[in-house]
Amino acid sequence: MNTFKICYLSSEVAPFAGDSELANTAYALPAALKEMNQDIRLMMPKYKSINERRYVLREVIRLREVTVELAGETKFANGKTAFLPNSKVHVYFLSIPEYFDRKGVYTDPQSGKNFPDNAQRFAHFAISVMETLKLLYWQPDIIHCNNWATALIPYYLKVRYKDDDFFRNTSTVLTIHDFANQGIFPMKIAPEIGIEEEFLQPGGAFEFEGKINFLKGGILFADKLNTTSIQTMEDVLTNPDKAHGLADIINRRKKDFQGIVNGLNYGTWNPETDEDIATPYDAKSVTKKQENKKAFCSEMELDPSRLLIKTLVDINEKQQLEIFSKVVADLAKDPVQLFLFADESSPYFSQLEKLAKKHAQFVTLRSRLDTRLSHLLWAAADMLFLPFPDTSSITPLLKALRYGTVPVALYHGVIRDVLVPFDGETGKGSGFAIPEATPPAMLSTLRKAFSVQKDGKMWAKIQKSGMRSDFSWETTAKKYLKLYEKAAKKKR
């Protein structure tokens, strides 16, 4: 296995800023690569919200004044460093006070609107990264960019720094987590961020419907590209609507494009060693889940004789609420209990509260649980019901498989990367696929799962199939290393 010097860039990194799929990936992937003895360093903007004392940020003498020149103007960035929690990954926080010493990552928390200078903010961050690398005398083999906010780096590397001997062996990888948010800005700001005129003409690398598109430019200039879902990659290559206007550009680069599914931290999420559950177990002793179910039900005053279904709903529209309400009403006929989670900030949370109250005999609604109870519930639940999966995160499904909690999920998007639909004839599969987002389809699939669950031997086979699948971050990291190898070869 090759060892690379990897500079990993992200506008969001958990736990410092953000709790999105991007932020959590930016934590987990570098940590996994470091465990594999890769020389990786992580860089992000220093936002005002980052608690320097809590995360023990330290001054770096040579990074006290990083010169950032753009459009004939000179600004200075200040670099501090800390370790990524529970890892040995160095994180560099680059601060340009006038751009990042404010609350919010992309938007003003008070107005809820995007900062009007986001293009300038992240362009200056990109240049500060390049100049920081030079001051550290650390020449990366790979600069790994994520989403539109760091998508200018491949352009700067090939245009602004093309004759800089320091970066002669540096390749770029761009991971696209979100095709909808592309970093689109008025054409008039181009001089302020150093994009040359030839790339702004109609059909140019950054031109998009008369505006500047950061993501488009990143796609065209990066050496290799990927998204965090194999199915999403196939969708954007075949369905123009999924590409949000970039279908032709993405297809132009399809030979350099691949899908790599995100992983799960198997050190934290492991029923065999989890100290937060009542009784440890593995695929060979999956029947011990029942002891965890009894413990959870006893603590939460639930009935252990009923099927315990952890249910996650991400409701974004009234129609989804109506569909889910019909499903819940019909499930009142079945010997089940739903432990329902929903986002408290959702505009539909109050309606879900009313729904839970109406069906209080078998529905328990929560917006969160503490760490111990959260782990215990994964070990206790018989099933995970995902009627409207969050297409940006595969994590709940991976946790369910890891703990032998059989998923029943709407089969679309990233779910298709992971869930192997149960086949009654062969007995193979790791869960149950809901074919469409309608009450009949959901109820039919759920009741199929209820029926199969009565066959203890078959149910255990499904549980073991999920528990023995490998979606660890180590496995994911190995795929990224192969992508880095391809990027490095392309550079040569």
For the record, the structure tokens of 314 come out as 């991400």
* 5-9 vs 224-227, strand pairing mode: unpaired
Separation between Cα atoms, residue 315 and residue 347, nearest integer Å? 9
**Higher-confidence residue: 325 or 72?**
325
For the chain, give the longest Cα–Cα distance.
Answer: 72
Q: Could you read off the pLDDT of 286-299 as tens digits, one per residue?
A: 999 999 999 999 99
pLDDT of residue 1: 67
Q: Could you read off the pLDDT of 386-437 as tens digits, one per residue?
A: 999 876 689 999 999 999 999 999 998 889 999 999 999 999 999 999 999 9
Helices 21-35, 473-491: axis angle to 10 degrees equals 80
pLDDT of residue 281: 97
Q: Could you read off the pLDDT of 170-224 as tens digits, one per residue?
A: 999 999 999 999 999 999 999 999 999 999 999 999 999 999 999 999 999 999 9
Average pLDDT over residues 129-135: 97
pTM of the model: 0.93
Average pLDDT over residues 61-80: 92
The CATH 3.40.50.2000 portion of the chain extends over 5-263+473-491, 283-467
Least-confidence region, from 126-130, 166-170, 340-344: 340-344
**Higher-confidence residue: 18 or 288?**
288
What is the residue-averaged pLDDT of the chain?
A: 95
Which class would CATH give 5-263+473-491?
alpha beta
In contact, 174 and 126? CB cutoff 8 Å: no
**What DSSP character marks residue 88?**
-
Q: Provide the pLDDT confidence category of residue 475 given band limits of 50, 70 and 90.
A: very high
Residue 279: C-alpha distances to residues 141, 185, 302, 400 (Å):
46, 54, 18, 17
Report helix, strand or coil for 45.
Answer: strand
pLDDT of residue 491: 63
Q: Which residues pair with 264 in a beta bridge?
A: 472
Separation between Cα atoms, residue 442 and residue 324, nearest integer Å? 9
Q: Provide the pLDDT confidence category of residue 315 given band limits of 50, 70 and 90.
A: confident
Q: Provide the pLDDT confidence category of residue 362 given band limits of 50, 70 and 90.
A: very high
- The tokens 């206790």 sit on which residue? 380
Least-confidence region, from 129-138, 271-280, 284-293, 313-322: 313-322
Q: Among residues of the chain, what percentage have pLDDT more than 70?
A: 99
Residue 348 one-letter amino acid: Y
CATH of the domain spanning 283-467? 3.40.50.2000
pLDDT of residue 225: 97
Per-residue b/e over 362-375, b at no fewer than 16 CB within 10 Å?
Answer: bbbbeeeeeeebeb
Collect all residues with Cβ–Cβ distance below 8 Å to 457 and sequence separation of at least 6.
Answer: none
